[in-house]
Structure 1
Amino acid sequence: MTRRTSLPGAAELFRSTGRSEPPAADWFDAGQAPSSHRARPGQARRGSPRQKHTSKITVYVSDEELIALEHSRLALRAAHGVAVDRGRVVREAVAIMLADLEENGENSMLVRRLRQDAS
């Protein structure tokens, strides 16, 4: 009897986990984001629901920001009956800010706050 553990090979470790479509080759030449990332006219931008996501980013937040996020998640559950995870709250917040940026541009809350922080 062997005491060696069977480990996965490189093919299993680095296999593709989802379908990915290559980005359009010329979207960056026009200086605009791909149109598939913009909300359709007359349709509100929404954060993606709980699902397996194919992309991941790491965001560093302060202790106070993390506590505020968790407090908000618990308040959503306790006061409004909406049970969501922190990721969903963040995705919705990002969707709201991006929609505001698309709609209001220079006057969007994101532009105003980032300019305020830069000065």
Structure 2
Amino acid sequence: MFRYIVITASACYGYQDQGVMIAAANQDLWQGGAVCGKYFQVTCTGALNQGVPHPCTSTPTVTVMITDFCPPPGCKGNLDLSHEAFSTIADPSAGGVKISYQQYAIQYVFFKFCFDTFYWRVAGC
């Protein structure tokens, strides 16, 4: 279960802008802040209450980055999503929905460009 939150200074990045597809982790996921910057794929799986019986959107999955901590007892679920992330997967009027989630590995590919001329050579090539 999760709900969306209004973003203020985050536990991971302070006031640095990390975009809008972000979330806060509960104490079980937090791991002393080790989860900061990790990506999670979150999928809406169904209604949490009777108010909105079919809250999931036609695009029920979103990838979010963990930027904050959601401490107990205020944290009612595993993840608190930003309004933008929540409204991508569910009707915001639902307030909270059932979810499944998994850590999402982002792979980075780095390229090394080397220049070689008669006059100079880039170090490390």
After TM superposition, the score normalised by the length of structure 1 is 0.22
Larger-Rg structure? 1
Q: Which has the larger share of strand?
A: 2
Q: Which structure has more RCO (C-alpha within 8 Å, separation ≥ 6)? A: 2
User: Structure 2 length normalisation: TM-score?
Assistant: 0.21
Higher helix share: 1
